[in-house]
Structure 1
Amino acid sequence: MTTTLAADPWPAPTASGPLDAVVEVPGSKSLTNRHLLLAALADSPTELIRPLHSRDSALMIAALRELGAVIDAADPGDLLVTPRPLRGGGHIDAGLAGTVMRFVPPVAALADGEVRIDGDERARERPMGPVVDALRTLGADIKAATMSDGAAALPLIVHGTGRLAGGRVNVDASASSQFVSALLLAAPRFEQGIDVRHVGSALPSLPHIAMTAAVLRDRGVFVEELTGDGEPADGAPSRWRVRPGPVSGGRIVVEPDLSNAGPFLAAALAAGGRVRVPRWPATTTQAGAQLRQLLARMGAAVDLSGDTLTVTGPADGAIHGIDADLHEAGELTPTIAALCALAHSPSRLRGIAHLRGHETDRLAAITTELTRLGGQARETEDGLEIHPAALHGGTVDSYADHRMATFGAVLGLRVPGVAVRDVGTTAKTLPDFPGMWSAMLAQRRGAR
């Protein structure tokens, strides 16, 4: 595993007392980047209210501008996206953003010329084969690098012709639901729309595909979620149809990022006291909504009153271990794993083998870093087992992974002497995580 080489590790603060904090969480990265992309494909301007401003969203904005969209600041923090004909001739930097490296190639195939797409060094190790293979089946001309197993990888050269036929295609999305979402988002502009069937093993992060279907419907696009036989899906779908047609503009208010709320809500258990997050949606397609049930099972009191979610840590400070299938909410794993390492009973996190292909191999990273701090963790075929152990201070490597950095911060609340190498990687989805963390810790119970 490649580690992050960065100077001056950030000393993760240890909580000096129970919290009584309110944390305003920025907009959802997943929703922001989906809405940005659809705004570039729309038939009229879109105003995005409270979008996320972070490295991942900045990379998406830069990519869409390179493809011709006009994106301007509206009111402070808001964005106005005016669609223009998609143009080729540009070079797109995907960084380490899965939503850019997977979502942009189908749009680039609709441009009127060559588009080059590359990213960070680690991005060249992330799976791209299913979306590249699917686009080739649908008529796109793409040149790609190859991984050791022969699968397509960044960098890509997409030879856009201004159109794509679309139609039926099979996709193995067992490594990432983003392969399906990438095709669905661009499908309204395909001549035949799309009929995509997942043909691999279990499909991870289904809520993210449900999110994609929801944002398409919000823009007036017809989407069907089906079984493999084409029947309406009452349970988990494995096939999706999108009809070709216009994508509407309008005014879109972006929900807060519920997964990014995770470390702050987890602080109520690790430090004690309570943490409140305003603007929590009553209904949502975000996988982070599962935090409510997960934290309650680990001993927290969880209350949603109005639009404010309040998590209160157990009075005795005892965190319960958990046996949880996180297949649909794998992004929560580092936060939950940090709490498991502080728990008084064993934990098993299942259904998350696909995390080996994220920003880093998160299962190996969590195991390595917990072991470094004296913890007891081991990888299983599809997840992690974590047992109680006396943790000590040390430096946690982030592996250029924002969620590994916040993992270290949660541990540091209860374990003195923890530092996080390259905490700046949190800017991928949180523009000022260290500042937000310090501000939360300053809001202590009884403080004036």
Structure 2
Amino acid sequence: MSSSNWVAPVAAGPVDATVELPGSKSMTNRALILAALADGPVRVVRPLRSRDTLLMARALRALGVPIADDGDDWLVEPGGRGPLDGPVQVDVGLAGTVMRFLPPVAALADGEVTIDGDPRARERPMRPIIEALRALGAEIDDGGRGALPFTVRGRGGLAGGAVTIDASGSSQLVSGLLLAAPRYAKGVEVRHEGPPVPSAPHLEMTVRMLRDAGATVETGEDVWRVAPGALRGGEQVIEPDLSNAAQFLGAALVTGGRVTVPGWPAETTQPGDALRGLLAAMGGEVSLGPDGLTVRGTGTLRGLDADLRDVGELTPVIAALAALAAGPSRLTGIAHLRGHETDRLAALAREINALGGDARELPDGLEIRPRPLHGGLWRTYDDHRMVMAAAVLGLAVEGVEIQNVGTVGKTLPDFTERWTRMLGV
């Protein structure tokens, strides 16, 4: 085994575990942006500390926003409504939330903000937000690429106003504009034209968090309006990351056991809440109570026919479960995953088939048919969710060797320890 690879442990029997999860990446990075633009100090309660969120915190610190560790929390001391600092260079890694949320904030800086990231980040869709910011009054030098790296020439503020974009590649393109909008002179009106925007729950999360911070937000059919105004200080409490629950709860189905995730909110905008219905459809017994969300395997793992447009980030683990299911699965509405950390549709089909499976790409998804699987190398393409999918397969398939398991640090740095602890290894 290569020193950078990890052999996924096979389950010795039904799992019986309670798995506590750290905070939501999506909520943490939204909370950091809102806190950085607030009029008073903000305590971000129980944030996720992972590569993506540390990159966001580092970028905001570079722009002059003090962010201090305070126990399990972050204390953000914004500088009121003055301009952010420039010139600076910012590394966004491979984090979609950082590369889409930071440029609208960079337009408020006094000086140049140069934004770059990992090699794959330079291939991810950025043209819509670059062109939108130009339409709102920003000056951006991207060499005509419509992609990273580029430089935002900040002038201490932005006019804002109305803009139309095609956000079919990522809901983050809309969220990024909305989060910074209260600090724009005219606010923003963002109108989407094009195929449906994926991950609608993430847009609901953005709107709710803006309103909770004091912003005035109106929404309509493919249109969002944020008025200029103050964002208040106080607390931003981060929920557990429900999408990161997928592989742990899925383990209950694969092994016929029980997994409970405590702290599951009764009401949430997180897309991961859809796991309740998806895992029940695949044969699990799902219950939400005072102890959290509990999934029990019934000895049956069914195939699934589902449109995952709103919950695309769950696709890798759902695809892994589908590869172990007794019947075929058809996962659709996820063409936009080709522009994620990697082309997730191609990667999942390639790696499932390399283990003896039968996965076929569709124009907007995957078709997976049951076949006996065998061990082998599973490549992860610097994609944290590919690691999680492989771990699920490894529960039932001996010898699944996961390449570059450390890439899971993007959202869950101690994943392997949590995984082996769940299995009692």
Query: Scaled by the length of structure 2, what TM-score is found?
Result: 0.98
Deviation of 1:382 after TM superposition, in Å, equals 0.5
2:102 alignment partner, SS class: helix
- Pick one of 100, 103, 115 that aligns with 1:102: 100
After TM superposition, list the pairs within 5 Å mapping 1:7-406 onto structure 2: 7-74=3-70, 76-84=71-79, 85=82, 86-147=84-145, 152-227=146-221, 238-306=222-290, 308-314=292-298, 317-406=299-388
**Does the CA contact (< 8 Å) of 2:4 and 2:405 recur in 1?**
no
Letter in 2 for 1:83: P
Whether 1:432 and 2:414 are equivalent positions in the alignment is: yes
Q: 2: distance between equivalents of 1:64 and 1:200?
A: 32
Letter in 2 for 1:200: G
**Does the CA contact (< 8 Å) of 1:351 and 1:383 recur in 2?**
yes
Q: 1: distance between equivalents of 2:417 and 2:142?
A: 40
Question: What is the identity percentage for the equivalent residue pairs of Structure 1 and Structure 2?
Answer: 61
Q: 2: distance between equivalents of 1:196 and 1:226?
A: 10
Q: 2: distance between equivalents of 1:65 and 1:296?
A: 43
- Which consecutive residues of structure 1, in runs of 5 or more, have no partner in the other structure? 1-5, 228-237, 444-448
Q: 1: distance between equivalents of 2:125 and 2:3?
A: 29
Q: 2: distance between equivalents of 1:396 and 1:215?
A: 38
2:36 alignment partner, SS class: helix
**Does the CA contact (< 8 Å) of 1:7 and 1:422 recur in 2?**
no
Q: 1: distance between equivalents of 2:153 and 2:192?
A: 26
Deviation of 1:226 after TM superposition, in Å, equals 0.7
2:155 alignment partner, SS class: coil
Deviation of 1:156 after TM superposition, in Å, equals 1.1
Aligned-residue CA RMSD in angstroms? 1.0
2:286 alignment partner, SS class: strand
- Which consecutive residues of structure 2, in runs of 5 or more, have no partner in the other structure? none
Deviation of 1:307 after TM superposition, in Å, equals 5.0
**Does the CA contact (< 8 Å) of 1:281 and 1:307 recur in 2?**
no
Q: 2: distance between equivalents of 1:309 and 1:406?
A: 19
Q: 2: distance between equivalents of 1:180 and 1:381?
A: 24
**Does the CA contact (< 8 Å) of 2:199 and 2:309 recur in 1?**
yes
Q: 2: distance between equivalents of 1:246 and 1:177?
A: 24
1:260 alignment partner, SS class: helix
2:361 alignment partner, SS class: strand
Letter in 1 for 2:196: A
Q: 2: distance between equivalents of 1:116 and 1:53?
A: 24
Deviations 1:328-359 (A, max 9, x none): 00000001000000000000000000000000
Q: Count residues in correspondence.
A: 421
Q: 2: distance between equivalents of 1:398 and 1:223?
A: 39
Query: Scaled by the length of structure 1, what TM-score is found?
Result: 0.93
Deviation of 1:7 after TM superposition, in Å, equals 4.8
Q: 2: distance between equivalents of 1:241 and 1:7?
A: 51
Deviation of 1:54 after TM superposition, in Å, equals 0.3
